[in-house]
Amino acid sequence: MTVRVGLVGVGRMGSTLARYLANGVPEAKLVAIADQKLERAESLAAQFGAEAAHSSPHQIFDRRDIEAVLLVTPSETHPDLVELAARAGKHIFVEKPLALTLEGCDRAIAAAADAGVKLQVGFMRRFDLAYRTARHEIEAGVIGRPVLFKSVNRDRERTSLEFARRESSGGLIMDMGAHDFDTARWLMGNEVVRVHSEGAALAYPELEQVGDIDNAVVSLKFADGAVGNVDLSRNAVYGYDFRTEVLGTKGAVVIGGVGEAELTVLSAGSRAQAYDGGRFEAAYIGELQHFVNCVARDEAPLVTGAEARQATAIAVAANRSLDEGRAVHLHEIGQPGLG
């Protein structure tokens, strides 16, 4: 069975997912692409053999020959587009975060449930071999009880000022941290109940104009007493940098790294790695393959709207902590029973 897919949004990530879907998922057919800049949609459609290009997502949703959609649009648009796609009976893959607010998450989850369509959120680390192996080792008890989580997530330069606005992307903590917050819950097998954030616009002071920052540290407290730390930055001039560690009572798992030497000094040009999706190519293909399989086999996705809501909740609490200069319990922002 071939699942016929429409893509909405032709930015960096939209183009990346189009390439992986067209070239890496033989059970899927990229039928049509929509973007408000029609010329971009037309160019990508020609590149990957899509039948049509449109300037509006409505034109994708109205097509009866499309069963599923990939929504890769600005984060603030996700709830509205999920609702529209669900009403049109389309199965939905939406990039992270599901929404910038819990109310937006709830709207999207309810819309998919009411329409009886699949809803999968793009947390690709869950499909990465290293992360999946780490999860398996933790669940098997190899490192004992997980007690400490550590995540580093650094990009090499700031995003545009318009994108950096909280109203557009949720800011640094929501946009970049969503992956780390989801990873923390998933690897630790535990819920975050309290967060405490510190951050500032240190490398790009112009970010203050739009209420964002370029460096942050978010401390996490888990329900069972375990602790964690997420380090976020937009000025790793040496290249895209991610690392994840879980320390247990009997050992640790470590994913990623910057070198094998006892001391590694990194500067601009010393580590030529830009974020182009290459490191996670197999993970991106894996999450798209999983989505297509779920549609074809009528199975529930592994990364549901409810899972994504938890990551958004942590990010919302972390932003509040940054703004108010205090630790924030998750129950304060609508997570009953947590914190």
How far is residue 33's CA from residue 6's CA, in Å, rounded to a whole number? Answer: 6
Residue 218 shares a structural domain with residue 110: no
**In 106-169, beta strands by DSSP E:** 119-122, 146-154
Between 207 and 269, the more confident residue is 207
Domain count, the chain: 2
| Whether pLDDT at 273 is above 70 | no
For residue 339, what pLDDT band results from cuts at 50, 70 and 90? very low
| Whether pLDDT at 73 is above 90 | yes
69 located within any domain: yes
Residue 73 shares a structural domain with residue 211: no
Q: What is the mean pLDDT of residues 316-339?
A: 88
63 located within any domain: yes
Q: Comparing 76-85, 186-195, 202-211, 276-285, which segment has the lowest mean pLDDT?
A: 276-285
Beta-carbon-side half-sphere exposure of residue 299 (alpha carbons within 13 Å) = 11
| Whether pLDDT at 276 is above 60 | no
What's the CATH number where 12 sits? Answer: 3.40.50.720
Structural domain that includes position 91: 3-125+282-303
Structure pTM? Answer: 0.94
| Confidence at residue 256, expressed as pLDDT on a 0 to 100 scale | 85
With CA atoms as reference, report the closest residue to 89 among 118, 56, 109.
118
N-term to C-term CA, the chain: 46
What average pLDDT is seen over the chain? 93
**Residue 219 CB burial class (10 angstroms; 0-12, 13-18, ≥19):** middle
Instruction: Estimate the share of the chain in helix, then strand, then coil, as percent rounded to the nearest 5.
Output: 40, 20, 35
How far is residue 118's CA from residue 294's CA, in Å, rounded to a whole number? Answer: 8
